């Protein structure tokens, strides 16, 4: 009972030298008369004779001894003046936005007895507490995105005012408008995904960063840089985007840089329709058209099959214009 009543004492405790005996000021109506007040102040809990009315009052040592049906609220049960003041937060949080796992600092007053941080509907144990500052980590249970209210609760059960905090969802990438580019030049590409609006840069693997200003949350167009220093026929480079809420996961989206195809030889060097011709060279990856050109500048399309650094083609008697590869003279017999 004494401990419970102590929780209902004043929230703004007086300094010790300002406390006066409330029993004496009430002209001894609460206890038998004696020679006068004397001794240090204590907090006394007492009831009237009916047992239905309870009082808490600062009381001197002499009046305490003369008061029936009373008990002293001992000092360990009393709270310091700072602890009795309700916690108050000062805006804004630092940072004012973040994602799960980020450390957040709250500044305020009377925070020394904080036991939990109320992050939306989640109760978070603070990582550090002082009289003017509380630090906590944004929980994994935070909503994917949006505003939540942040407050603190003290050992007395008092809850502070609430401050807004914005949860920023990390970006995700789902694909690209182009998945292959010439290594010598690079080119424009549209990155697809979600949560791009606060994006600042797109990173293309080891090649470098490209500054961006997304106008839509689900896509952003950028110019992929050239990749002149690459080695081999194909260089796969992961593409990520960085926003205020972090960086997208690497490895989910990538660009393949290709060397320009070059023909070095054919075998055989002559043939007839339906013959199989092997074309050797470099950069012959993902070839989609093989074209034979005769002396009259007509062209013949050919079926093809990829095989390492060579392409096997079967000459067909169907003529069309267009070529994706460099051409070597190949007589059509």
Domain-by-domain residue ranges, the chain? 2-78, 82-167, 172-258, 262-319
pTM above 0.75, yes or no: no
Helix (H, G, I), strand (E, B) or coil at 24: helix
pLDDT 10s digits, 256-281: 888 878 888 888 887 777 778 888 88
pLDDT band at 254 (very low <50, low <70, confident <90, very high): very high
Tell me the β-bridge partners of 299.
293
Q: How far apart are CA 319 and CA 299, in angstroms?
A: 5
- The 10 Å Cβ neighbour count of residue 213 is 10
Does 48 or 249 have the greater pLDDT score?
Answer: 249
Residue with tokens 């050919």: 302
- 101 with 75: CB under 8 angstroms? no
pLDDT band at 91 (very low <50, low <70, confident <90, very high): low
Domains 82-167 and 172-258 share a fold: yes
pLDDT given at position 25: 54
pLDDT given at position 26: 53
Q: State whether CATH 2.60.40.10 applies to domain 172-258.
A: yes
Q: How far apart are CA 289 and CA 302, in angstroms?
A: 7
pLDDT band at 135 (very low <50, low <70, confident <90, very high): very high
Lowest model confidence (mean pLDDT) among 25-34, 51-60, 69-78, 150-159: 25-34
Question: What is the dotted CATH code of the domain comprising 82-167?
Answer: 2.60.40.10
Does 289 or 164 have the greater pLDDT score?
Answer: 164
- 269 with 330: CB under 8 angstroms? yes
Instruction: Give the helix, strand, coil percentages of the chain, each rounded to 5.
Output: 10, 45, 45
Q: Average pLDDT, stretch 309-325?
A: 40
Mean pLDDT over each residue of the chain, to the nearest integer? 75
């Amino acid at each position: 009972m004494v401990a419970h009543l102590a929780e209902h004492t004043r929230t703004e405790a007086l300094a010790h030298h300002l406390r006066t005996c409330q029993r004496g000021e009430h002209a001894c109506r609460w206890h038998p008369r004696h020679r006068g007040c004397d001794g240090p102040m204590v907090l006394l809990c007492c009831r009237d004779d009916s047992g239905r009315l309870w009082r808490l009052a600062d009381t001197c040592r002499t009046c305490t001894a003369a008061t029936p049906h009373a008990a002293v609220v001992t000092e360990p049960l009393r709270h310091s003046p700072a602890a009795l003041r309700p916690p108050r937060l000062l805006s804004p949080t630092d940072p004012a936005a973040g994602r799960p796992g980020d450390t957040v600092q709250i500044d305020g007053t009377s925070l020394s007895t904080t036991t939990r941080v109320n992050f939306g509907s989640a109760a978070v144990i603070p990582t550090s507490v002082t009289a003017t500052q509380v630090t906590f980590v944004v929980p994994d249970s935070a909503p994917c995105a949006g505003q939540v209210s942040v407050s603190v609760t003290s050992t007395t059960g008092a809850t502070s005012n609430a401050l807004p905090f914005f949860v920023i969802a990390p970006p995700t990438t789902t694909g690209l408008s182009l998945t292959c580019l010439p290594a010598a030049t690079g080119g424009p590409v549209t990155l697809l995904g979600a949560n791009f609006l606060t994006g600042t840069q797109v990173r293309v693997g080891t090649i470098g960063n490209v500054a961006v200003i997304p106008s839509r949350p689900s896509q952003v167009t950028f110019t992929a840089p050239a990749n002149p220093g690459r080695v081999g026929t194909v260089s796969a480079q992961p593409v990520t985007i960085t926003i205020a809420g972090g960086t997208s996961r690497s490895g989910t989206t990538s660009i393949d840089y290709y060397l320009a195809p070059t023909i070095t030889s054919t075998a055989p060097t002559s043939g007839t329709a339906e013959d199989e011709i092997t074309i050797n060279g470099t950069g012959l990856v993902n070839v989609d058209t093989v074209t034979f050109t005769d002396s009259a500048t007509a062209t013949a399309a050919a079926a093809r099959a990829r095989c390492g650094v060579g392409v096997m083609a079967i000459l067909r008697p169907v003529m069309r214009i267009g070529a994706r590869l460099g051409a070597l003279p190949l007589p059509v017999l």
